[in-house]
Every structure is written in C-alpha cells, then in structure tokens.
Amino acid sequence: MSTLRRRVRVGVGDGAHARPVAELARLAQAHGSTVLLTTETGESAELSSVLAVMDLGIAAGDEVTFEVADAPGAPALLDALSAVLNPR
C-alpha cells in the first residue's frame, strides 16, 4: 500500500503544545489510521503518543511531515491535521 505525505509549516504561536497535539491524536484515532509525524531533523513519533509528539519540541515556524497509508479518507485526514498546525 502506498503512503501519502504532507509537509506543513507550523503556524500556531506556541508550536506543538498539549492542545494541538491532543487534537492531532484525536483526528488520527477517529480516522483509525496510524500517522507518523517527522521533524526537519528526522525525529519522528506516531500521533497516537501525545507525549512522544510533544517530546519532539516542535516550535512555531518549524516544518513537519505527516505520513499516512493511502486509504479512503486519507487526503481529508491530512487536510485536517495540517489545519491544526497551520490554521489559515
């Protein structure tokens, strides 16, 4: 199965702190998908682990990549995840 990736620049002022990370985990869980988040430095964590994602220390302006298996609803999931970290 192929993988979809989406690169996002973090636009929330406090970076990936508890509230947005919990929302990312909730979205991934609701979709039933394993989503990997990778930083510019190559560190990564699954969204199912809020603490592991917070330990990445993602700050405003950082660029991260979401990776999820290509399945029904995956593009919409990537849209929703991206909107959490970079609301427009």
What's the mean per-residue pLDDT of the chain? 93
> Which pLDDT band, with edges at 50, 70 and 90, does 15 fall under?
confident
Detail the DSSP E strand segments found in 31-72.
35-39, 44-46, 63-69
Residue ranges and CATH numbers for the domains of the chain are 3-85 (3.30.1340.10)
Q: What pLDDT, on the 0 to 100 scale, is given for residue 16?
A: 81
> Which pLDDT band, with edges at 50, 70 and 90, does 44 fall under?
very high
Which H or E run includes 82?
Answer: helix 74-85
Region 56-73: mean pLDDT is 95
pTM: 0.93
Check: CB of residue 66 under 8 Å from CB of residue 81: yes
How much of the chain exceeds pLDDT 90, in percent?
84
Q: How far apart are CA 54 and CA 18, in angstroms?
A: 7
Q: Residue 84 CB: number of other CB atoms within 10 A? A: 19
End-to-end CA distance of the chain: 31
